[in-house]
Amino acid sequence: MASHPNKISRFNIASLALGLAFLYLPIAILVIYSFNGSRLVTVWGGWSLRWYHEFFADRAMIDAAWMSFRVAATSATIATLLGTLAAVALSRGERFRGRTLFSGMLYAPLVMPEVITGLSLLLLFVAVNAERGFWTVTIAHTTLTLCFVAVVVQSRLGSLDRSLEEAAMDLGCDPARAFLAVTLPLIWPAIIAGWMLAFTLSLDDLVIASFTTGPGSETLPIRIYSEVRLGVKPEINAICTLVIGLIAIVIVAASLASKLSSAQAKSAAPM
Amino acid sequence: MSARRIFARPARFAAIAPYVWMVLFFLVPFGFVLKISLSQTAIAQPPYVPVFDLTEDFAAIKAAFAALSLDNFRLLVSDNLYVLSYLRSLVVAAVSTSILLLVGYPVAYGMARLPRRWQSVAMMLVIVPFWTSFLIRIYAWINILQHDGLLNKILLALHLVSTPVVWLSTDSAMYLGIVYSYLPFMILPLYATLAKMDPALLEAASDLGAAPGRAFWLVTFPLSLPGVVAGVLLCFIPIVGEFVIPDLLAGSDSLMIGQTLWLEFFTNKDWPVASAAAVLLLLLLLAPLLFYDRLQRRQLEDAR
């Protein structure tokens, strides 16, 4: 296998290393500077937790973070429920009328420019006279993230051995029971990973939230954005580092879940 | 079309809830965008004249239809400001997608050449930044690119420049930000096709006397085209409508359409014109969107 043309070359290694350095260096610099004691963002004034204290004393920022957290948790939960159902319908259901429209509606938001999604949802909320705030942002985020959940779960369902479900049904399970007893435990880790993806996407979103939120209910990205527009502030470095830390925890949990998933899949379905 | 026929088998029932949700919150809102794009601006709350009201009788609805106007669209295609920002969006998206392809391909290629065990690690490393906040990653670059930021410090220390270079509020900063943010979207589909490729093909090419470079262009690249197309679409479509990156990193003398839409909506409070801009943007993206949808569906059908 490791014959000459397929050997990894120095060029391969170099491009990989440069690519990864490009992806990580800016974030690393940001994290380091969040511990900078100096008020001047560009002068190193020794290690300090000063900006973290500043953040925890900033009432408006804390409120925004709490709002973001609630929106992310709620919308991710609804999105996971609906996205999983959609994935099951697409990969297990027989052809039904409107299936093309259905899958189109699920794939389009993945690439749709956020300004369009945000504007259109806002116009809907205004038309039905909904009070804008927590729930409108949550609905908007659910709409976007359920599509990501559907793709994640669908790809897991696609790689599952269908004979397991068929065996359960041959043994007398009705389709619903076969799904609950056999399929669901196997795709559970993908569902968890989908929830986490939805959670971080919601936590991250600026554009859609800006359109759909109302006065007095800012999310964290909206707050950060308005601060960043005024210039670089060391406190923002600290907040960003905290968010990165939270997301890192989520990623580690998600990768553990997927490890568990492949181990489980192997033990359930010896290849 | 009876409900019974649509969802005859149990798994189809699963479609009902997400179907209703997406129709309600994805499809129907576009109807409102279309409707408001055809109405007049007004100084009111909400700031537009309602075009028609379904609670009225037929005559009123007919009158309302007669009052529909394409004025907003006429404004968009006749005013240079909008035409230029559409053009700029397309140019920026095309240029950045090309850079992304040039940068992303070697990285994806390197990943596919790694030993199996390391491939999943490399993939994880590429995915992680995608999970990290978009806004935070752009902000990290503002830190580096500002007047007395790290980049200028390094350049000054190396005596490559004698005075600090202005990086922020330039197109180069914007391109850098876009390439940085969208790189994982380009690398992952490329890697997916490159990793699937049979190594025996390259061996055969080499046995038949092809130099590595020639073998790459004759064998590897053509076979990776599906990944190239997927990566290009995955980047190009959202970049056309990008708002945050040009807003924070580019100068304010020429705007992308996403920024123009934002400005009309939030600053000028001109909802009808913003809606018309959204409709035109959507029309512009319709062809690549449909193409992407087909690609995505085929891929998932293959996986079934």
Q: Is B211 within the bounds of a domain?
A: yes
- Please give the residue range of the domain that contains residue B288: 71-303
Count CB atoms within 10 A of the CB of residue B292: 22
Q: What pLDDT is recorded for position B50?
A: 56
- Given its phi and psi angles, is residue A133 left (phi above 0), alpha (psi -120 to 50 degrees) or beta? left
In a domain, B176, yes or no: yes
Chain B residue numbers with beta carbons less than 8 Å from the beta carbon of A94 are 8-9, 11-12
- Low-confidence stretches of chain B (pLDDT beneath 50): 1-8
**Residue A8 forms contact with B (CB below 8 Å):** yes
Q: What is the pLDDT of residue B5?
A: 39
The enclosing domain of B116 has a CATH number of: 1.10.3720.10
Q: Where are the alpha helices (DSSP H) in chain A?
A: 10-33, 50-57, 59-92, 99-111, 114-127, 134-159, 162-170, 175-178, 184-204, 207-212, 220-229, 234-268
What pLDDT score was predicted for residue B167?
83
| CB A213, CB A137: distance < 8 Å | yes
**Could you tell me if B271 and B47 are in contact, meaning their C-beta atoms sit under 8 angstroms apart?**
yes
Residue B40 lies in a domain: no
Residue B227's nearest CA partner among B89, B111, B96 is B111
CA dist A47 → A32, A44, A238 (Å) = 9, 8, 13
| Mean pLDDT of all residues belonging to chain A | 83
Mean pLDDT, range A61-89, rounded to an integer: 93
- Chain A contacts of B131, Cβ < 8 Å? 197, 200, 247, 250-251
User: How many domains are there within chain B?
Assistant: 1
Considering only CB atoms, B146 lies closest to which of A154, A224, A232, namely A232
Position B101 scores a pLDDT of: 95
Q: Which residue has the higher pLDDT, A76 or A25?
A: A76
- Segment holding B50, helix H or strand E: none
Nearest CA in chain B to A250: B131
pLDDT for A3 beyond 50 = no
Q: Is residue B55 part of a domain?
A: no
Two structure tokens written together for B20: 């209703």
Distance of residue A97 Cα from the nearest chain B Cα, in angstroms: 6
To the nearest whole angstrom, how far is the Cα of A55 from the nearest Cα of chain B? 16
Q: Within 13 A of A199's CA, how many CA atoms are on the CB side?
A: 20
Alpha-carbon distance of A150 to A89, in angstroms, equals 10
Q: Which of A254, A166, A261, A117 is nearest to B33 (CA)?
A: A117
Q: Is residue B48 part of a domain?
A: no
- Determine the distance in angstroms separating the CA of A123 from the nearest CA of chain B, rounded to an integer: 6
Within a domain: residue B29?
no
Q: What is the dihedral of CA A212, B177, B130, B217, to 10 degrees?
A: 130
Q: In this structure, which amino acid lies at residue A43?
A: V
The HSE-up count of residue B65 (CA atoms within 13 Å, CB side) is 7
Predicted local confidence at residue B105, as pLDDT: 93
**Averaged over A9-24, what is the pLDDT?**
85
Distance in Å, alpha carbon of B33 to nearest chain A alpha carbon? 6
Q: Chain A partners of B29 at a C-beta cutoff of 8 Å? A: 120-121, 123-124
Of A83 and A102, more confident: A83
Min Cα distance B157 → chain A (Å) is 15
- Chain B neighbors of A83, CB-CB under 8 A: 18
Neighbours of B8 (CB within 10 A): 13
pLDDT at A39 over 80: no
pLDDT at A266 over 80: no
pTM: 0.84
CA A229/CA B168 separation, integer angstroms = 12
Residue A70 confidence (pLDDT) above 60: yes
Average pLDDT over residues A51-62: 85
What is the pLDDT averaged over residues A180-205? 87
Least confident of A17-31, A45-59, B213-227, B288-302: B288-302
Per-residue pLDDT at B202: 80
Whether the Cβ atoms of residue B255 and residue B85 lie closer than 8 Å to each other: yes
For residues B274 and A69, give the distance between their C-alpha atoms in angstroms, rounded to a whole number: 30
CB contact under 8 A, B243 and A115: yes
In chain B, which among 140-159 make CB contacts under 8 A with chain A? 140-144, 146, 148-150, 153
**Angle at alpha carbon of residue B302, lines to A197 and A190, rounded to 5°:** 25
Q: How far apart are CA B174 and CA B169, in angstroms?
A: 8
- Per the domain annotation, does B56 fall within a domain? no
Residue keyed to tokens 């055809």: B38
Q: Evaluate if residue A211 carries a pLDDT over 90.
A: yes
